Amino acid sequence: MADTVGTEGIKVIKAPRFRQLKKGETRKHIINVLVRNELGVLARIATLIAGKGYNIEGLSVGETHEKGVSRMTIEVIGDDIVIDQVVKQLRKLIDTLKVRDLTDIPHVERELVLVKVHTPTSRARDEILRIVEIFRGKVVDVSQETYTIEITGDEEKINAFVELLKPFGIKELARTGKIAMRREMFIEENVQE
């Protein structure tokens, strides 16, 4: 067939450089979304993320100082490229005012956790209290057999705390989901000569 195609004069050279689709890294992203608090806005956002086949790992929502405007913090594990797509599509939603992937920019994050832990012996109670103190937690409820402890912090701190309590037996645990905010940059003052 090569002789019927009229390619005289044109050299058949190398095989093509196939277009490579970049594969992103899969990791946890933390996305901040400022939304108008309209009917169904949460469902819209959840539908969009689920539509990409991703599970929402953490979610917190609450009204900001502006009436009718809420801040959502969403944690989702996914491919960097697909998350970039999710962010663009979130921006397209009519009710979103601002969408930002905080994962790679300096930010503050906090989560509040309530843990109900067994206190079988008085030694255990003492030890737990010491841990709570070190982690700047607070015992907010006490019964004969349990402490309920409140602690806030970033993911690392909370995970470490929970690990330390596990040997005593955790009865219940509740997390609020992270809230997060971008850190303000310090702007170095320009000294004019």
Q: What is the contact surface with other proteins in residues (CB under 8 A)? A: 1-2, 4-7, 10-22, 35-36, 39-40, 43-44, 47-48, 51, 81, 84-85, 88-89, 91-97
* Angle between helix 122-134 and 155-165 (nearest 10): 170
Nearer to other proteins, 94 or 185 (CB): 94
Shortest distance in whole angstroms from residue 85 CB to other proteins: 6
Provide DSSP, 104-164. TS-EEEEEEEEEEEE--SHHHHHHHHHHHHHTT-EEEEE-SSEEEEEEEE-HHHHHHHHHH
* Angle between helix 80-92 and 41-51 (nearest 10): 150
Nearer to other proteins, 16 or 106 (CB): 16
Shortest distance in whole angstroms from residue 79 CB to other proteins: 13
Shortest distance in whole angstroms from residue 89 CB to other proteins: 5
Secondary structure of residue 26 in the 3-state scheme: strand
Nearer to other proteins, 85 or 152 (CB): 85
Provide DSSP, 65-85. SSTTEEEEEEEEEEEHHHHHH
Shortest distance in whole angstroms from residue 178 CB to other proteins: 23
Nearer to other proteins, 97 or 164 (CB): 97
Shortest distance in whole angstroms from residue 74 CB to other proteins: 17
* Whether 111 contacts 153, CB under 8 Å: yes
Nearer to other proteins, 22 or 123 (CB): 22
